[in-house]
Amino acid sequence: MSSKSSTTNQSSPLEAMEISLHQAADIMGISVSLARKIVSEGHVKRSSRGMVRIADWGRGYVAYRDAGDKRSTRSAATSIVGEARAAEINQRIALRDRDLVHVNEATMAIDHVVGACVETFNALPAMMTRDIAERKRLERIVREGKHGVVKKIKEAAELLEKGSKLPDDH
Give the predicted TM-score (pTM) of the model: 0.42
> For residue 97, with 0-12 CB atoms within 10 Å meaning exposed, 13-18 middle and 19 or more buried, which class applies?
exposed
Per DSSP, the three-state class of 20 is strand
Give the separation between CA 31 and CA 55, rounded to whole angstroms: 19
Report how far apart the first and last C-alpha atoms of the chain are (Å, whole number).
Answer: 92
Q: Class of the 14-91 domain?
A: mainly alpha
CB atoms within 10 A of CB 54: 19
Per-residue pLDDT of the chain (170 residues; tens, 9 = 90+): 444 444 444 567 767 788 888 898 898 889 989 888 988 888 888 877 878 888 888 888 888 888 877 666 667 677 888 888 999 999 899 888 988 888 788 888 988 998 999 999 999 999 999 999 999 999 999 999 999 988 988 888 888 888 888 887 65
Going from N- to C-terminal start, the domains of the chain cover 14-91, 101-162
List residues bridging with 46 in a β-sheet.
52
